[in-house]
Amino acid sequence: MTQEAAQSARASEISLNQLMLPEHANALGNVHGGVLMKMVDEAGAIAAMRHAHKPCVTIAIDSMTFKQPVHLGQLLVCQARVTYVGKSAIEVQVLVHAENVMTREITHTNSAYLVYVSLGPDGKSATAPPLLLETEEDRSLFAAGEQRQHRRTGR
């Protein structure tokens, strides 16, 4: 099988934004942690599928820490970027912040690394295009991602 051409992280990065409304609240009146986690996973999955040009499923989510509450009325912004690609595994970094849309004040709430697996038509793992490393930052994120992936898989 011929290998697909390498692609940069910039070709697949995405910012998924949503205004937080009462339907997103927990019992305390802040945004529910599960809502944040769902949006983080969706943003990561979109970046992975843009990279792979194939369906992708989540195989691992690294620990998530919520540093600040997100309030209703804020714009939740999830910025996803592919950091490492193995054969079928794609690691995505998702940075999350909340914006007060009137003052433009931004609060960094959390960041997470998630791993997706690209799937072939048979529903089994299938090779994704390699990640094109264009900048020093790309290389550094890739090296750190490779180490994290070795730890996750015990290799």
Ligand X SMILES: CC(C)(COP(=O)(O)OP(=O)(O)OC[C@H]1O[C@@H](n2cnc3c(N)ncnc32)[C@H](O)[C@@H]1OP(=O)(O)O)[C@@H](O)C(=O)NCCC(=O)NCCS
Residue count (the chain): 155
Taking contact as CB under 6 A, which single stretch among the options 4-12, 26-34, 85-93, 99-107 is the one that binds ligand X? 85-93
Count Cβ atoms within 10 A of the Cβ of residue 22 and give its class: 0-12 exposed, 13-18 middle, 19 or more buried: exposed
Distances (CA, A) of 110 to 8, 93, 96, 97, 155: 24, 11, 5, 7, 28
Of the candidates 36, 48, 70, 86, which one interacts with ligand X according to CB under 6 A? 86
Bridge partner residues of 19 (DSSP)? 75
Smallest distance, ligand X to C-beta of residue 148, A: 9
Question: Per CB under 6 A, which of residues 3..62 are in contact with ligand X?
Answer: 57-60
Other Cβ atoms within 10 Å of 17 Cβ, number? 12
Q: Is 124 in the site for ligand X (CB under 6 A)?
A: yes
Q: Is 125 in the site for ligand X (CB under 6 A)?
A: yes
Q: Residue 70 or residue 115: which is nearer to ligand X going by CB?
A: 115
Contact positions vs ligand X (CB under 6 A) = 57-60, 86-89, 115, 117, 124-125, 152-153
